[in-house]
Structure 1
Amino acid sequence: MSVLAVGVSHRSADLRVLERATVPAGEAGKVLDELMRCENVVEAALVTTCNRVEVYTVVQAFHAGLSDVVGVLGRHSGLDEAELYEHLYVHYAAAAAEHLFGVSAGLDSMVVGESQILGQVRTAYNTARELHTAGRTLHELFQRALRVGKRVHAETGLDAAGGSVVSEALADAASVLGGLTGRRALIVGAGSMGGLSAAALRRAGIAEIVIANRTERTGARLAALQVEHGTPAFAVGIEDLATHIAAADVVISCTGATATVVDATMIAERDRPLVVCDLGLPRDVAGDVALVRGVTIVDLESLQRRLAESPSGLDTRRAAKIVRDEVNGYLATQRSAEVTPTVTALRRRAAEVVDSELLRLSSRLDLEPAARAEVAQTVRRVVDKLLHTPTVRVKELASGPNGVEYAEALRELFQLTPTAPAAIAAPSHESPTRAPGAPPVSTLSGGTDGSGAESGVVDNFAVGTRAKVPFVDGESR
């Protein structure tokens, strides 16, 4: 079994596809449950942000696992699987770990180095742990990924500028308005993105913040926090949007709602500029708002275009090296763990032989108890010394790329039948049976690397038509 990562992000899809593929926070459990009902999925976690949806699973087989995961994503998004495959990236085994570590480090973000992604990865891990969909393999993978993210932020200056999607959106707003100092802001939504927006507005010198939220009590808590930091703020109900949009200079909408919450009927034509920052996925702001005179829209799509054209001045080399080193360390640990059943089996076989021979000796010689104990201790000491060097060395050698071959040699030489690796890597829950109507196993063509995954672009025929799957990485990377 290996880790399979399947995702869609700002790098592989436009906003239309991302909107449909996104998983609202309240539906994460439903998607994870559906994944765990797939026949080939043993563990599952779901990472969602404002510009990515990624599923990390432990699968019994690459092809069948990919078909199961894409089937769940297709049913959730309503996208035809052939269309979905056009926008997916797939990473397998070692490449899956490398990708998650890079995501946690902020190297794969729209704004390189943003620190918010680390919290989102932590949320994904905690959700999978609470719902018991993460077993030992994903526990170790995500804990290592969180460690990587912390190292990058602590040891590099990658996030020194405090860049984020929110700060970049506000930079665009400031360029339109001639600065944010002394302006009035309206935040629609009081979740984590709303809190990040409020903090960024305070730092920009905003004069007043109004927070509109469906639950006014939640909005009031966020407003009170701004007042504590010296910025006038108050909360209103979502039904009062039109009134407060009219008084605002900048609006930031980040509700996570499945339908638009701001449309042109709420905005009168203006003599002074209004910047509406739509950071929701799916979109919070209807397209007709852009037609209102005096209104400028800043959304994820426009930010992506601008950031793609602007070379990053951040030093990413050191962060990338940290990721590579951590990947190598993680893989070495995993390979060492794979030989543990073989070492255990070898020592068990030796103990059985020693016990058998001591029993035979005891039946043939009439030894005093003290002498019998001394003989038994001596024999066991000899065997332990003989086994010490090969068992230590096989664990050391296992950390290398071909280390597992040494364990295979031990099994062959001593005719060992080690306890299945599942005893070490299995999740702490039972895998549900496959749900009726689960998608058929996909067939991928091309050469394999021995791990069941192909490098480069592969062809998929799961839905009867050829669809390209980009960025399929396997262990041979």
Structure 2
Amino acid sequence: MSLLVVGLSHRSAPVSILERAALAADTQAKLLQDTLAAEPAAEGTVLATCNRIELYADVDKFHAGVAELSTLLAQHSGVGLDELTPYLYVHYEDRAVHHLFSVACGLDSMVVGEGQILGQIKDALALGQDLHTAGRLLNDLFQQALRVGKRAHSETGIDRAGQSLVTFGLEQLADGTDVDTWAKGKKALVIGAGSMSSLAAATLARSGVSDIVIANRTLARAERLAQILSEPGGTPRGSSGGGAGVSAHAVEMVAVGDELTRADVVVSCTGATGLVLTGDDIETAVQGRRAPLALLDLAMPRDIDAAAHRIPGVRLVDIESLAEASADAPMAADVDRVRGIVADEVAAFGAAQRAAHITPTVVALRTMAADVVAGEVARLEGRLPDLDDKQRAEITQTVRRVVDKLLHAPTVRVKQLASEPGGAGYADALRTLFDLDPETVASVSRADLNDADVKNRGRV
């Protein structure tokens, strides 16, 4: 089996395609279930963010896997396969590992170095685990990706190469002015109460806005977020730092129109499939006002009508304009160091996976040897019934030592060889040379997989 990823992101597809291809939570679950039902895939999970959709799978056939995963993405995204295919990218085996590790480090993000992607990778793994679609390979891969991402942020200054998408968006709205200076005293409306909206609300609170209104379809979630923000040092989970405690309150979505007329800055990030703020809504809100209205749309598909770009007195920053702005952002020298970390970690992961691939065969070989020893000792006892317990134990130990010494060097060496590139064939050679039962090897693999699943589920 081999790792395959098929996906699209802000690097390969225009925002219009990403918007249409966005997957709701229930659609992601159905996609994974259908992926495992497809013949080429043994396990799978999906990484879906505001600017990427990637389907990871362990497949036994490359071409069939690419065709099947591409078809499934098209079916569940609602974008026709012919239209979607030009924007899809495919990574296989080590290149797929390299891609995910780069994503985890923020190298493939719209804003280089942003750390929010680590939480999204963790969510992707948790989804696969909850649905039992992520097996040993994807558990190992995504757990290692999380460690690589954390290592990159702790050992380098990759964070300096870019900011979070929220911070970067607010900087674009401030248009060269310090964000804290720009935000001080402003009234903010945050639409949505999920992780991105919570991060935006916390960032605005730290930047000095005077009032924050949280609007959400589930009022209770908005109220919880508003309560946290109102407390001294209040910071939603997942954000860093602490605010001074701002005036914050929650409203239902039906009140968004009224709140829009009073807000100076609006941040929207919901899971809505249609527009939350239309061009007419915005035009009505700015009629007769002198102060400009700043809009930040972090949703995919978009929450705010792109027509707002053409409304006088309104400045809209959305995913599309963020992509254009980030293309001009300077690359920090630390990016090269992170690339080196990724390269080293990819090599280490590949070696570990290749070594793990031969482990069931080695275990099966040693099990067979132990059975041979037990059989020969039993036969000896039948021929020499007068042996006492001490003699019998000494003979048994001697035979075991002989077998262990004979197997030690070749099993250690075969593990070393198997961990090197191109070493996958050594497991087959070992099975052939010692005539090992394939079912015995498979049973060891299944036992290892079950143990790994229990262990990995406990880590997330």
- 1:369-388 equivalence runs, <5 A: 369-370=388-389, 371-388=391-408
Q: What amino acid sits opposite 2:139 in the alignment?
A: H
Q: Please identify, of 325-334 and 118-127, the stretch whose mean Cα deviation from structure 2 is larger.
A: 325-334
| Alpha-carbon separation, structure 2, partners of 1:68 and 1:160 | 40
Aligned to 2:207: 204
Q: Is the 8 A contact 2:27 2:76 kept in 1?
A: no
Aligned to 2:67: 67
Q: What amino acid sits opposite 2:186 in the alignment?
A: R
**Residues 203, 379 of structure 1: CA spacing in aligned structure 2 closer, same or farther, 3 A cutoff?**
same
| Alpha-carbon separation, structure 2, partners of 1:35 and 1:405 | 28
| Correspondent of 1:245 among 260, 275, 286 | 260
Q: What amino acid sits opposite 1:302 in the alignment?
A: S
State the Cα RMSD in Å. Answer: 2.2
CA deviation after TM superposition for structure 1 residue 274, in Å: 1.0
- TM-score where L is the length of structure 1: 0.84
Aligned to 1:217: 220
Q: What amino acid sits opposite 1:185 in the alignment?
A: A
| Alpha-carbon separation, structure 1, partners of 2:147 and 2:339 | 14
CA deviation after TM superposition for structure 1 residue 344, in Å: 2.3
**Residues 410, 27 of structure 1: CA spacing in aligned structure 2 closer, same or farther, 3 A cutoff?**
closer
Give deviations 1:396-418, integer Å, cap 9, x for gaps. Answer: 23222233344444334333344
- 1:9-408 equivalence runs, <5 A: 9-160=9-160, 163-175=163-175, 179-228=182-231, 229=233, 230-267=245-282, 268=284, 269=287, 270-313=289-332, 315-370=334-389, 371-408=391-428
Q: Please identify, of 216-225 and 312-321, the stretch whose mean Cα deviation from structure 2 is larger.
A: 312-321
| Alpha-carbon separation, structure 1, partners of 2:176 and 2:136 | 50
Q: What amino acid sits opposite 1:222 in the alignment?
A: L
Give deviations 1:246-281, integer Å, cap 9, x for gaps. Answer: 111111111121110101222233432111111110
**Residues 81, 256 of structure 1: CA spacing in aligned structure 2 closer, same or farther, 3 A cutoff?**
same
CA deviation after TM superposition for structure 1 residue 423, in Å: 4.6
**Residues 373, 422 of structure 1: CA spacing in aligned structure 2 closer, same or farther, 3 A cutoff?**
closer
Q: What amino acid sits opposite 1:378 in the alignment?
A: T
Q: What SS class does the counterpart of residue 214 from structure 2 fall into?
A: strand
Q: Is the 8 A contact 1:275 1:295 kept in 2?
A: yes
Q: Is the 8 A contact 2:268 2:297 kept in 1?
A: yes
Give structure 2 stretches of 5+ with no counterpart: 234-244, 452-460
CA deviation after TM superposition for structure 1 residue 132, in Å: 1.1
Residues matched between the structures, number: 429
Give deviations 1:31-86, integer Å, cap 9, x for gaps. Answer: 22222222222111111111111111112211222222111111112222122110
| Alpha-carbon separation, structure 2, partners of 1:409 and 1:44 | 29
Q: Is the 8 A contact 1:137 1:427 kept in 2?
A: no
Q: What SS class does the counterpart of residue 182 from structure 2 fall into?
A: coil
Report which of the two has the higher share of helix.
2
CA deviation after TM superposition for structure 1 residue 314, in Å: 5.5
Q: What SS class does the counterpart of residue 209 from structure 1 fall into?
A: strand
Q: Is the 8 A contact 2:361 2:441 kept in 1?
A: no
Q: What SS class does the counterpart of residue 87 from structure 2 fall into?
A: coil
- TM-score where L is the length of structure 2: 0.87
| Alpha-carbon separation, structure 1, partners of 2:290 and 2:270 | 28
Q: Is the 8 A contact 2:111 2:162 kept in 1?
A: no
CA deviation after TM superposition for structure 1 residue 28, in Å: 2.3
Q: What amino acid sits opposite 1:402 in the alignment?
A: G
Q: Is the 8 A contact 1:173 1:250 kept in 2?
A: no
Give deviations 1:216-244, integer Å, cap 9, x for gaps. Answer: 22111111111113211111111111211
| Alpha-carbon separation, structure 2, partners of 1:122 and 1:307 | 25
**Residues 367, 75 of structure 1: CA spacing in aligned structure 2 closer, same or farther, 3 A cutoff?**
same
Q: Is the 8 A contact 2:18 2:52 kept in 1?
A: yes
Q: Please identify, of 188-197 and 391-400, the stretch whose mean Cα deviation from structure 2 is larger.
A: 391-400
Q: What amino acid sits opposite 1:290 in the alignment?
A: H
CA deviation after TM superposition for structure 1 residue 5, in Å: 0.8
**Residues 142, 19 of structure 1: CA spacing in aligned structure 2 closer, same or farther, 3 A cutoff?**
same
| Alpha-carbon separation, structure 2, partners of 1:289 and 1:75 | 32
Q: Is the 8 A contact 1:132 1:428 kept in 2?
A: no
Give deviations 1:97-149, integer Å, cap 9, x for gaps. Answer: 11111111111101111010000100111111111111111111111111111
Higher relative contact order (CA 8 A, sep 6+): 1
**Residues 423, 43 of structure 1: CA spacing in aligned structure 2 closer, same or farther, 3 A cutoff?**
farther
Q: What SS class does the counterpart of residue 179 from structure 1 fall into?
A: helix
**Residues 318, 176 of structure 1: CA spacing in aligned structure 2 closer, same or farther, 3 A cutoff?**
closer
Q: What amino acid sits opposite 1:220 in the alignment?
A: E
| Alpha-carbon separation, structure 2, partners of 1:14 and 1:393 | 50
